[in-house]
Amino acid sequence: MLDPAIQNYFIERKEAWLKKNVKASMEEYEIKELELLCEQQFSLNEWLPSAAKRAGQISMSTHPCTFSHPSARKNKNGYVSSVLAEIERIEDGYLKTGNVAVATDALGNAAALDVYKFLTLNMQDGCNLLTHIQDETELAQTLLTIKSTNYQELRAGFLTMIEGATESITSSKIKQVYFPVDDDYHQLSLLTNSGMVYQLRSRLDKLRFSDEVKELRDKKRKNEFSEQGYSEIYGLTTIGYGGTKPQNISVLNNQNGGKAHLLSSLPPSIEKRNIHFPKSNFFVESFKKYEYADHFKALHKLFQADYNNINIRDARDGYLQNIIDLLIEKMWAVRAVSQTQFHEGTSSLSSTQRTWLLANNIKERENSEQWLDLLVTEISAWLSRSYEKVLDKQAIKLGEAERLLFADIINRNREFFK
């Protein structure tokens, strides 16, 4: 009795043939005749000898030459050698042929793809039919023992699909590299491992379009909680092989519609650092004029007011507090990069600013107030200088009252500078 996979194969072939040939306008006797013809054509006695002769039109290959150029299959010297690499797996961490379990591809006459599909059917024991024929198992001997053709002839015909070439033939349409070996060169033809190409596509499609990922993506869109996350792959490019005739490239290419994915291989871009740890003075290097100019301009308008009331004073204090808040925000940003960007040998920061800005000086900031008193004086002086710098010739002359005001606002925020 035939393996269920073989039985199903012939059932499907018969159904497809009848669907193509039986017309609705046919008489019943005509349909019966076609059914008999179909049974005859797909009987083992007739189909197996035909398939064995056509098997040589397909070559099993792990690295089909047609991925380099669709017309690389044949040249004036004959057919390009079919490469069927069998490499031992080595756990060395490299992505290469042999280290990834992928399907074996095939290329050749698209009209003989039915033979390829037949020979790659998986039997109940997990091995494909071609392996059984190679090993001459009982299943293969039972299948190939028919009246019309002898067993050995059928077996030899089917095995031509995996026969290696007697000589190495390449094509000018395949990319060539001359590789130095001793005092000479070896000419290498660069070929594509199509199994790895489509294994990559399969894994990427699973990451992007599986039902599980679609469900998780939908939960994110609806802002619903999920304990499980998912990954997104960016920068993918889709490449097409074979145009409108992917079957002319290879079997795997045809099964995938000729479309494969390419991961981005661009060199990393160097991100511009927005925060730099100061080398000599925080107020000059880290806190730029454009960041606080608008607040000083608004403060200047209040300094020019002809009247003085609680609203004016509150607004004035509010603008000063906004400037101090920006200063504290910048302080935290600089502290965050201090461990990687601060270099003792090249820094000329004052001891006060080192105590203030280095993230690992927490104990020093907590155990002493002297550095903070000096910092308050520095900030107060910086406020005066910055106001004059922003307003330029429009700036009014600041006196002791303004200096005391600045010091008062800064002292209200003493704890936030630690």
Instruction: Name the region of 235 (left: φ>0; alpha: ψ -120 to 50; beta: rest).
Output: left
CB 240 within 8 A of CB 217: no
Work out the percent of the chain whose per-residue pLDDT is above 90: 31
Does position 307 have pLDDT exceeding 80, yes or no?
no
Name the helix (H) or strand (E) containing 295. Answer: helix 289-303
Segment 248-288, tens digit of pLDDT: 899 999 999 999 999 988 887 776 667 888 888 988 888 88
CA-based nearest residue to 188, from 68, 86, 320: 68
- Asked whether the beta carbons of 4 and 113 are under 8 A apart, the reply is no
pLDDT bucket at 48, cuts 50 / 70 / 90: very high
Please report the pLDDT score of residue 47 as a whole number. 94
Spatial separation of the C-alpha atoms in residues 212 and 215, rounded to whole Å: 5
If you average pLDDT over residues 136-140, what whole number do you get?
93
Residue (of 190, 173, 176, 161) closest to 82 by Cα position: 161
Instruction: Return the DSSP state at 43.
Output: S
Give pLDDT tens digits for 161-219. 887 555 778 888 898 899 999 999 998 888 999 999 999 999 999 999 999 999 999 98
Return the higher-pLDDT residue of 134 and 309: 134
Q: Report domain extents, the chain.
A: 4-189, 282-417
pLDDT score of 258? 94
Residue 273: per-residue pLDDT = 66
- What amino acid occupies position 388? E
- The pLDDT mean for the chain works out to 88
Q: Report how far residue 230's alpha carbon sits from residue 218's, in angstroms, rounded to the nearest whole number.
A: 11
- Asked whether the predicted pLDDT for residue 296 surpasses 90, the reply is no
Label residue 158 by pLDDT band (50, 70, 90).
very high
Taking the whole predicted model, whether its pTM rises above 0.75 is answered as no
Closest C-alpha to 14, from 34, 42, 40: 42
Q: What is the pLDDT of residue 164?
A: 59
- pLDDT tens for each residue of 15-41: 999 999 999 888 889 999 999 999 999
pLDDT at 10: 94
Q: Are 189 and 174 in contact (CB under 8 A)?
A: yes
Which pLDDT does position 40 carry in this prediction? 93
What is the β-pairing status of strands 105-108 and 74-75?
unpaired
Residue 151 pLDDT exceeds 80? yes
What is the tens place of the pLDDT at every residue in 218-258? 988 888 888 888 888 888 999 999 988 898 899 999 999 99
pLDDT, one tens digit per residue, over 354-408 is 989 988 888 888 888 899 989 988 898 888 888 888 888 888 888 788 888 888 8
More confident residue, 145 or 292: 145
